[in-house]
Every structure is written in structure tokens, then in C-alpha cells.
Structure 1
């Protein structure tokens, strides 16, 4: 009972008649993301980046350029979150923070696709649609659930300003390490290299670490069951993805530093 009471102090009041439905959505979303994490670890990868053609079945699937695929991933979620300012123009400071953070996150990703990233692989259409739909659903649902929470009791422990700080640190660190990755290749180079600089000297996926921090920040701003289920689920997926990414580098580069971890410096 004490643990439940402590947990409830971090959450906004549940949504009366909608609470069972929203709890079910939160559980299903978490289980779906956890399933994707397990799939990555056992070799059933979402087919983009280094693993875009890892499965032989991909030969019969529609392939996209990485730029096109990545724009499909992020643009619908960005447009939906941007539209929320017109659909739900009113609301308190927490609601405005939530809409703004989600919109800024996906807008940043679209800009990175257009102006920062240098790609060498491709993406399978099925994976692009799955990931894009997941991002669209998660962003729209977080905003809508935040809208439903308007006027209900605020959490006993207010985390929204801490959430803003974590969000800023997350998108800043994520962008910086994406920038370092973009500088690995020359204009016409397509091959992979071992990343250097920043936290790449300690972990192979610091951009994932800061992505997790970004979503933790968003969940702290929202403080709803659904937002926390999303951030935990995304963290699990990126943990799985970073694990197989490190294995990939170890298999491709004999000089890959063995002390460089997957995601968390000195730990994992």
C-alpha cells in the first residue's frame, strides 16, 4: 500500500470513467515496446540503419532511402503534435509544456534528417510504417490524455520543471552526438567507422542514452501513467537496440575498444 501511495504521488489524478481504458492503453503500449526490445535482442530487428537488410525476407520488401524512411518516421508525429496547439488551444502550464516538448522533439528529428544526418543504408517500408505509426500514436495519445487531465488534481510531487531540465539536456546531448556521427563520413563516403568524441569514448550509443533522457523528461512533464509507460517502453527498446549495435561493431571492427559499453558508461 505504501508503494502504491508513493507511486500515485507522482501521477496526475486518474480519469474517472476513462481510467480503465487509459490504463489498458498504457499496459498494451508498454508490452508492445517491450516486445520490440526482446525482438531486437534475439535478432528480429526493425530494418533501418545498420540492420536495414539484415533479414533475408527484406529482399521481397519495398526498400526506401534512409532520408525518405526517416522523414516517414518523424513527420506525422511532428504534424500531429503541432496541430494540437490548434485542436486544444487552452490549458495550463503543464499542458503547454507537454505539447511544446513533444512538438520540439519531433521537429528537431525532422531537421536532423534534412540537414545533419549522412546515411549509408536504407529502410524497409514495413519498418518505417510500424515505427511512424508508433510515434504518431504515442505523441497524439500523450497530448490527448494530458488534455483529459485538465482540471483534475495535480500530482502531490510536481516534476514538470525537472522534466523540462531533463528534456533540454536530452535533446541537446542527442543532437550533439548525432552531429558527431554526421562528421564521421566525408561527402561521398558510405562505410561505417567507429565513432569518437563525446560519450562515444565510453558507450557506442550515447545518442540513445540522451533519447531516453528526452522521453523521461517528457514523462516528468506529463506525469501520467501513459507517458511513464511510453518512456519506460522506449528505454527498453533502445537498451535492446544498443546491445545489438555493440555486438555489430564488435563483429565488424577488430580494433573496437572492448571497454566501450553499449549505453550506460562503465555499466552496460
Structure 2
């Protein structure tokens, strides 16, 4: 199969898998990490690995893998693709190699092996879909120098930056809730946390919606679907968890979209 054929097959596969993943996570099983790990631990999730190591392993393909695939393309040093590469890496380099060391992790916390193993594979596929459209002539979209002033790129980049800001600020506020040595959970307060339980997920959804617009690509749209399939059920589960654990949890808060969901 040619690169273009592989790309098309993966597009269809990830689009279909998004529906399956959403249904499974929403109605049948919660991913066994973080707040929901105790509810879902079973032998088939595999042995626990240190949570920080797990996070690096599952996110690294989205940073290192994306870069390797991107620079294998013949148009890797064109201006517009380079800017889009920097946008992608602004999120995923931080997510892979900085966030694991600043996030709040309970001492001795582990993540079942199946979680990073599945994420490693799926993130590598997503990276292939989105890196090749930027620099590989076999599947590359039209990103000439004029793309950087195209209204679609400008609107998408603005949404990307807004989502990036929301995601980072929400993560910092969550990390600040737990002081060194503490192991319990608290109700997040202030800013968007007064409106929704998961502004971090809301911000990430905006990031990839912005990416889809900025690249104006099927690969970007499929990644938005994949992101929503994973994060919406997670946000709804987290919202329910807060309401069950804290009787005084603010009743007006929604899960992930202010005033909507």
C-alpha cells in the first residue's frame, strides 16, 4: 500500500474507532487511572507502572514520533508547515516532558500498564495522520507561504491559543490544590472551575478544534473526534465523581462545556 492509501485507511479507522471508544467509555467502562482507578482495577488492565513514567511513555509518540515523521517529509522546511509543527509541539512537548513532573501525583501512585500501551499505539497513529499532511508530498495539503495569512489558519490559530491558555491554567490550578505530602482531593474553586468541573478538558478540545481549522484537514477533524470520544466521557465521569464525593459540590456547575454539558 502507498503512503496515501495507509493515510486514508487510518482516517477511516480512527473515525470509526472514535464512535466505539465513546460508547465504551460512556456506557461500559471508565479508563482505570486517576480518580477512577479504584473502580476499574482488574487483572486485564495489567500491572501498575509509576504514573509519571506512564505519562511520558504514552505522550512521547505525540512529540518525538510526530517530529520524526514530520522531518521525514520532503517539505518539512517550508514556512507554513514549520509554524504548524511548532503549534503541535507547543502542546505535546510540554505534555510529554514537563507536565508529568508538575502534575499532582500521590506518592507511590501507579497506572495500569494497558493504559500507556494503548495510548502509545493510538497516539503514534494520530501523529502519522497529522504530521504527513504537513510535509509529505504524497498526502500533503496545500500549505504554501500564503497559508499563514489565510483566514482559516488565523481563526484556527486563535482558537488553538485560547484553548492552550485554558488548558494550562486549569492544570496549574489543579496541581496547586494538593500540597506536598497530601493525598486527598478537594473541590477546585475560582475562574472556569465555577462554571465547569473540567476546564482542562474543555481547553484541550478547543486546542484540537483550532488545529482542525488551522490545518483545514480531514486528519485534524478525525483528531477532534478522537479527542471528544476520549475526553467527554472522562469529563462526565469526573463530574459525577465530584458530586458523589462532595455533598456540597456546586450544583450549577456543568461537566465540560459552560452552560451546556
What TM-score do the two structures reach when normalised by structure 2? 0.86
Superposed CA deviations along residues 211-237 of structure 1, whole A, max 9, x for unmatched, are 001111211222111221111221232
8 Å contact from structure 1 (residues 37, 236) kept in 2: yes
Question: C-alpha distance in 2, partners of 1:19/1:82?
Answer: 19
Matched with 2:166 is 173
State the SS of the aligned residue for 1:50.
helix
8 Å contact from structure 2 (residues 153, 215) kept in 1: yes
Matched with 1:223 is 216
- The structure with higher relative contact order (CA 8 Å, sep 6+) is 1
Matched with 2:76 is 90
Matched with 1:124 is 112
Question: C-alpha distance in 1, partners of 2:250/2:5?
Answer: 49
Question: How far does residue 149 in structure 1 lie from its aligned partner after superposition?
Answer: 4.3
Question: What are the residue-to-residue correspondences of 1:127-206 with 2, within 5 Å?
Answer: 127-146=115-134, 147=136, 148-150=138-140, 152=142, 158-206=151-199
8 Å contact from structure 1 (residues 105, 171) kept in 2: yes
Question: How far does residue 151 in structure 1 lie from its aligned partner after superposition?
Answer: 7.1
Question: How far does residue 158 in structure 1 lie from its aligned partner after superposition?
Answer: 4.8
8 Å contact from structure 1 (residues 71, 113) kept in 2: no
8 Å contact from structure 1 (residues 23, 226) kept in 2: no
Question: How far does residue 20 in structure 1 lie from its aligned partner after superposition?
Answer: 6.2
8 Å contact from structure 1 (residues 77, 140) kept in 2: no
Runs of 5+ consecutive residues of structure 1 not aligned to the other structure? 1-16
Question: C-alpha distance in 2, partners of 1:105/1:58?
Answer: 33
State the SS of the aligned residue for 1:105.
helix
Distance 1:219 1:193, change over 3 A: same
